[in-house]
Structure 1
Amino acid sequence: MVAGKKSSSVGSGGSASFLQSFGVYFPSPPRLRMELLEHKILKETIAIVSFLEKEIAFKDKDLVKLSLKIDGLKAENERFEALPLNKKNIMDQATFLAAETKKQKRNLQKRNQENRKIELKVFLDKILNGEALGEICVDDLKDLIEILEKRMDMFEERLKPFRGSTSGTKDENGFIKEEMGTNSMAVEASNEAKEHLNLPDLNEPPPEE
């Protein structure tokens, strides 16, 4: 009896040790569930850490770009602050630029007028020489008439003193005989007006064809 009890106790102790060693390799369901949960959390943590590392590297690049941009803006601000430009200087520069623009515009207009006068003079010479009778257009004719009217007005203004101050004796037909000096002055004024009008001298022979 004692031997049987002893053998049974030995058998129960061996089975307990076997179960304990078996539990090391094959844990119980609650422990297995916990280890699976820990493994899942570890995998997710590793994935999150990798994502966060990429985001941090991207943000670091953005910070470097922003830092360089801020440095450039600071340098530009310092450069503007160092410039001796105030409101008066800006107004003076604006006035100067406006005056220069107006001057350039006036010079351009004057140059265009001079070129137009040269063209009309050449064209008038051709007309007087009978070379451009078929090339006359309305605009050129209007310009020529306008210039001739202005020249005639100038010619009339120059002749007013001589017309108002004619002196001399009347001849047998009642016409006034002008003094020699006055007549020479009128001839000089007529020649000057002829030069302004660019008219040919009637005493000169016609051009040879």
Structure 2
Amino acid sequence: MADVGDHYFSAEPGAASRPATVDLVLRDLHFRLETDRGMFSPDKVDAGTRILLDSVPRPPREGNLLDLGCGYGPISLTLAARAPEATVYGVDVNQRALALAGRNAEAAGLNNVRFGLTEEIPAGVTFAAIWSNPPIRIGKQALHDLLTLWLPRLQPGGLAHLVVQKHLGSDSLQRWLTDQGWSTTRLASRSSYRILEVQARER
């Protein structure tokens, strides 16, 4: 069994550094991204992330946008490029990934994105949209706690889009969200992935 330090959801990964690059090629964007061991999908942009970025409507043009579990930044950079007048926040626990995400944003010339730990995002900041390939492997309760922390920060009329593999619990997650009072629909389904669209609660 791998040491917990090797998990992408560790604050300080124990895996020895082995820098690499991957390409994210979308119909409207092309990024070359620095990656490293000890973070999520370092050898290629994860299929779920690509499906999310190909399937979800364009983000709001203005306001604050959130990438929950940003890793080395493919979702954050896409949000920042597609909504240049918005401010994008990328949140993760993995400090090695956060450092690379910042470098990737700088290399792409995107100055409207901020990366940090949960506690570094001001409590009063709310979001017009949340996009996420959530860290399913942290466990069901931890995932529920994570979503319970961030989904209430959606602004009225805001939407969260989550990509989850079917065999990793997309349908049960949809049921849980609905049971918690979040109006949740399946926006798209491709391969074994589901895109869940979660509406902000009325206040």
Please give the range of the TM-score, normalised by the shorter of the 2 chains: under 0.3
Return the structure number with greater relative CO, CA threshold 8 A, min gap 6. Answer: 2
More helix by share: 1
TM score, norm. by length of structure 1: 0.19
TM score, norm. by length of structure 2: 0.19
